[in-house]
RNA sequence: GCGGAUGUGGUGAAAUUGGUAUACACGCCAGACUUAGGAUCUGGUGCCGCAAGGCGUGGAGGUUCAAGUCCUCUCAUCCGCACCA
């Protein structure tokens, strides 16, 4: 029978659909596996990155199903978001229609690839029920004080006409459209993620077993915890008078209190309150004010190009020496880190050094290397060292003095040990239409109030005009008008919608809901405690910070709200590498994409899956190679054709190993080696390429013999091993020859690994010179005699100094002369 | 600058604890079958060399009977963060 991929694949896809083959059981006494791939945005069609992502998770899901586990392998769509609106603006389509059409199309693509998803748990985050539950959680979070509204300087993308979270600003530009962001003073809703900074950082330890180190490090850096000293710098009397006695002091933070005797100036961020006061009250001359305004309006990228600043004509008093220290304004001081002000120690900080050199400020060295002279004439000395010119702390090392200096500040009550984080609260409101509305109401009398839970969902209106100008909800004639949930008076709805990352922060919990639960509640605690945590989470490294941090945050919040009782959502994280063509990432703009549909049409889904899992380990980049795809296709055909050597059987044949020929024994050994490899791969290594190579070797070995029982046993096992990779082909073979009985856990037979003789390498001075075959029972002396005979010609005129026999591996002679 | 990785044939890549480097595949070469071959099958293929032999895992050292694997230094590439005080 010829291998016709289209027929076979269609046949089994229909079979799986009709038989609900991949629905998880509701029996919570079974051992479970929750296998999840990061769900896609419904952009229109699948790309190869998707195919790789789901090929990996599908292989895991199918393997564990064979092992008898209760497997949850769901699929959904992260369906809110800007592209739907952009398409609306471009083609006049409606975001809803566009989104759901795309979902339908992509679902078909998924099932054409044979992915074993639970069809009954399919969902999209733009479904009204999803919005309903999410809005309910938002209200819970507000009541807990984890959501607040505040005016602030926000990241504004002028192209997308919306605010962005800090995490969504990449190199000063919008993460989505690359437009340089602007700062805009606006009201915004924030999740208090900073309340969980320490826990988000500390719990990374729990993840060390299951997450790539790289991701852990990225999260750690993003949270950016640093310990140091915070203290007040007091103005002198003259400066206080200049400031109309409005300010006594300002607060600074340092991680290097050991350098404090080297302070030679201090610097404020251009946005600092004192600077703002001075500008507003014209306490500086006009030219200076103009320069400050210019500095503030400079983009963050330009601000990094060169250090710049101005003296403010103010002085503070050094807290330890009592000396007068000038106050500057400096463009490198960031308003949103620490207090927006720094003590400057040019001798021991590169930035302070550059600035001091430029403006000719004093450079006072106070730390030197242990056994060297201090030299800061060329550059700052930023290492730890020994203190000098530091009063009572002279001679102490950096570490010791940091401790002592902080202690002294605390005793004198002029400063305190302080921890700072780079992590900021998560701004979640977006001025867009295609998102989940934030369920709040603005009432003239009552202020900001929550919508009543019984009124949820606050759904989006369908009749909107989307033209890219302003917020479509804000511009809608009637939608925003409502009654206050507290006093009943006329009021207005919040027209901002939520960041789409909010939806992806809890979708993995929603998947735990049974088809029954789905209709009524978000999920039940019982279901969640059974299915969570996710055993394998598969997705792209690009989500290392944003999505994974937010999802971890939501899990902790839901725990504190009583919805669940664990700390971390994802036990194991597998970050897949990119799919490349011609050395660069596949992308439409580069025109180097390969369309999955075309590959399926030409070779079939199994070929695409096999190539993707065979060409490289999943965490590594994958270079697309047309002829290697061809090769994968050839293997499947050969695998299918050679199945004709198999004798039909309902059970695995029993074979008397001792009666077999050498070729037959080798074939069996290779088959069972492949099985061993498969277990390691699925349990620990996930290097599917090596497992597939093992199967290929086994097929090659089977082909060198003609014992029908050996063929049958071989295929019984190999079709089971390969089913997670090329499911259609394997189900077809299994059905034809084994009545599908072999797609279960396979037992390893140790007898096939026992051999009567073994091959040993013979080396001289570590260099391989030949090999000998010896009896299993051979003694060391016998082996040595045989080995010496084998490499006789290399031993002439030489003296053997040492003879090493490594059992079952090799013999090594150390020779001289 | 800080952090994380990766360097092995013409190519994608194997080598799980130090033990015969290059499994498996792609490509290439040769042969068979064929009207034909971009199908299928068989064999060959690390490099230099006619051979004997020598050399080979980015580079330089080291430990060891034995190093792709361990240690020191170094080079290159990729990724992430970045004026975070």
A754 in helix, strand or coil? coil
Q: How far is the CA of A663 from the C1' of B9 (A)?
A: 30
Contact A320, A260 (CB under 8 A): yes
Cβ atoms within 10 Å of A448's Cβ, excluding its own:
14
Q: Which nucleotide lies nearest residue A229, CA to C1'?
A: B85
Identify which has the larger pLDDT, A672 or A779: A672
Tokens 């075959």 -> residue: A773
Nucleotides in B strand less than 7 A from protein CB: 3-5, 11-16, 19-21, 23-27, 39-42, 53, 65-67, 79-85
Helix (H, G, I), strand (E, B) or coil at A812: strand
Residue A354 is predicted with a pLDDT of: 93
Query: Is the omega angle on the peptide bond into residue A533 within 30 degrees of 0, that is, cis?
Result: yes
CA A627 to C1' B26, in angstroms, rounded, equals 7
Q: What percent of chain A has pLDDT over 90?
A: 74
pLDDT score of A800: 83
State the nucleotide closest to A681 in CA–C1' terms: B16
Q: What is the pLDDT of residue A770?
A: 80
As a rounded value in angstroms, the CA-to-C1' distance for A258 and B30 is 76
Radius of gyration in angstroms for the set of CA atoms belonging to chain A, rounded to a whole number: 34
CA of A133 to C1' of B36 (A): 67
Residue A106 or A791, more confident: A106
pLDDT at residue A1 above 70?
no
Query: Structure tokens of A631?
Result: 């090769």
On the question of pLDDT at A300 being above 80, the answer is no
Nucleotide nearest to A814 (CA to C1'): B65
Distance of alpha carbon A148 from alpha carbon A32, whole angstroms: 38
Cβ of residue A288 lies below 7 Å from strand B: no
Residue A302 Cβ under 7 A from any strand B atom: no
pTM: 0.93
The answer to whether A629 CB sits below 7 Å from nucleic acid chain B is no
Whether A801 sits with its Cβ under 7 A from any strand B atom: the answer reads no
pLDDT at A643: 93
User: What's the CA–C1' distance between A51 and B2, in Å?
Assistant: 35
Q: Give the ipTM.
A: 0.94
Distance of CA A405 to the CA centre of its chain: 40
Instruction: Output the pLDDT for position A723.
Output: 97
Provide residues 348-377 of A with CB closer than 7 Å to any strand B atom.
349, 351
- Mean pLDDT on A698-713: 94
**Residues contacting A330, CB < 8 A, separation 6+:** A267, A268, A269, A307, A308, A309, A342, A344, A355
Please say whether the beta carbons of A135 and A437 come within 8 A: yes
Residue A484 has pLDDT above 80, yes or no: yes
Calculate the average pLDDT of chain A: 92
| A175 CB less than 7 Å from any atom of strand B | no
Structure tokens at A508: 């993995």
Give distance CA A766 / C1' B67 (Å). 11
């Amino acid at each position: 029978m010829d291998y016709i991929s289209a027929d076979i694949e269609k046949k089994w896809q229909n079979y799986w659909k009709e038989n609900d083959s991949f629905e998880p059981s509701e029996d919570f006494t079974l051992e479970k596996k929750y296998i999840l791939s990061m769900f896609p945005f419904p952009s229109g069609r699948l790309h190869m990155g998707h195919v790789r992502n789901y090929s990996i998770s599908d292989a895991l899901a199918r393997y564990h199903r064979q092992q008898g586990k209760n497997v949850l392998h769901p699929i959904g769509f992260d369906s809110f978001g800007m592209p739907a609106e952009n398409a609306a603006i471009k083609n006049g389509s409606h975001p809803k229609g566009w989104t759901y059409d795309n979902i339908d199309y992509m679902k078909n693509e998924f099932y054409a690839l044979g992915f074993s998803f639970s069809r009954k748990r399919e969902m999209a985050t733009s479904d009204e029920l999803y919005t309903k539950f999410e809005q309910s959680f938002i209200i819970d979070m507000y009541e807990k004080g984890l959501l607040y509204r505040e005016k602030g300087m926000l990241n504004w993308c002028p192209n997308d006409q919306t605010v962005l979270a800090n995490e969504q600003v990449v190199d000063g530009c919008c993460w989505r459209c690359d437009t340089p962001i602007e700062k805009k003073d606006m009201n915004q809703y924030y999740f208090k993620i900073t309340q969980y900074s320490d826990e988000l950082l500390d719990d990374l330890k729990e993840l060390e077993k299951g997450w790539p180190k790289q991701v852990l490090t990225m999260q750690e850096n993003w949270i950016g915890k640093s310990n140091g000293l915070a203290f007040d710098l007091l103005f002198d009397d003259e400066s206080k008078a200049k400031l109309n006695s409005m300010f006594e002091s300002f607060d600074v933070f340092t991680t290097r209190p050991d350098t404090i005797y080297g302070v030679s100036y201090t610097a404020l961020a251009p946005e600092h309150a004192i600077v703002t006061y001075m500008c507003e009250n014209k306490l500086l001359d006009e030219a200076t004010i103009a320069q400050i305004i210019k500095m503030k309006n400079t983009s963050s990228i330009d601000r990094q190009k060169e250090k710049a600043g101005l003296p403010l004509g103010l002085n503070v008093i050094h807290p330890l020496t009592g000396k007068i220290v000038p106050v500057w304004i400096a463009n490198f001081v960031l308003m949103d880190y620490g207090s927006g002000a720094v003590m400057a120690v040019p001798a021991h900080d590169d930035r302070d050094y550059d600035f001091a050199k430029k403006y000719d400020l004093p450079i006072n060295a106070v730390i030197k290397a242990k056994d060297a002279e201090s030299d800061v004439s060329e550059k700052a000395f930023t290492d730890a060292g020994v203190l000098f010119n530091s009063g009572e702390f002279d001679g102490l090392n950096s570490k010791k003095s940091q401790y002592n200096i902080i202690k002294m500040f605390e005793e004198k009550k002029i400063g305190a040990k302080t921890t700072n984080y780079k992590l900021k609260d998560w701004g979640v409101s977006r001025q867009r239409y295609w998102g989940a509305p934030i369920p709040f109401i603005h009432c003239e009398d009552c202020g900001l109030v929550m919508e009543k839970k019984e009124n949820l969902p606050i759904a989006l209106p369908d009749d909107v005009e989307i033209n890219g100008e302003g917020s479509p909800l804000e511009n809608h004639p009637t939608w925003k008008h409502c009654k206050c949930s507290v006093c009943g008076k006329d009021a207005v709805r919040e027209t901002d919608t939520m960041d789409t990352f909010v939806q992806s922060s809890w979708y993995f919990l929603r998947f735990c809901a049974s088809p029954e639960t789905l209709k009524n509640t978000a999920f039940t605690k019982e279901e969640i405690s059974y299915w969570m945590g996710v055993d394998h989470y598969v997705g792209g490294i690009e989500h290392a910070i944003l999505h994974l941090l937010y999802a971890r945050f939501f899990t902790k919040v839901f725990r504190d709200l009583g919805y669940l009782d664990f700390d971390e959502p994802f036990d194991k994280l597998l970050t897949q590498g990119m799919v490349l063509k011609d050395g660069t990432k596949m992308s439409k703009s580069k025109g180097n994409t390969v369309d999955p549909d075309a590959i399926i049409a030409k070779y079939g889904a199994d070929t695409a899956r096999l190539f993707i899992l065979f060409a490289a380990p999943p965490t590594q980049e994958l270079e697309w190679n047309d002829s290697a795809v061809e090769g994968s296709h050839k293997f499947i055909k050969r695998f299918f054709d050679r199945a004709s050597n198999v004798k039909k059987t309902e059970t695995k044949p029993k074979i008397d190993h001792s009666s077999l020929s050498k070729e037959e024994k080798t074939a069996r050994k290779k088959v069972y080696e492949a099985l061993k490899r498969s277990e390691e791969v699925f349990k620990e290594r996930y290097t599917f390429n090596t497992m597939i190579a093992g199967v290929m070797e086994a097929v090659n070995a089977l082909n060198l013999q003609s014992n029908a029982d050996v063929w049958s046993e071989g295929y019984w096992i190999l079709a089971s091993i390969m089913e997670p990779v090329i499911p259609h082909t394997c189900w077809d073979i299994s059905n034809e020859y084994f009545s599908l009985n072999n797609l279960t856990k396979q037992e390893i037979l140790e007898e096939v690994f026992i051999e009567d003789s073994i091959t040993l390498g013979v080396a001289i001075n570590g260099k391989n010179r030949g090999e000998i075959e010896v009896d299993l029972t051979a003694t060391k002396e016998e082996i040595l005699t045989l080995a010496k005979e084998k490499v006789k010609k290399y031993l002439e005129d030489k003296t053997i100094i040492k003879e090493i026999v490594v059992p079952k591996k090799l013999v090594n002679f150390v020779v001289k002369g």
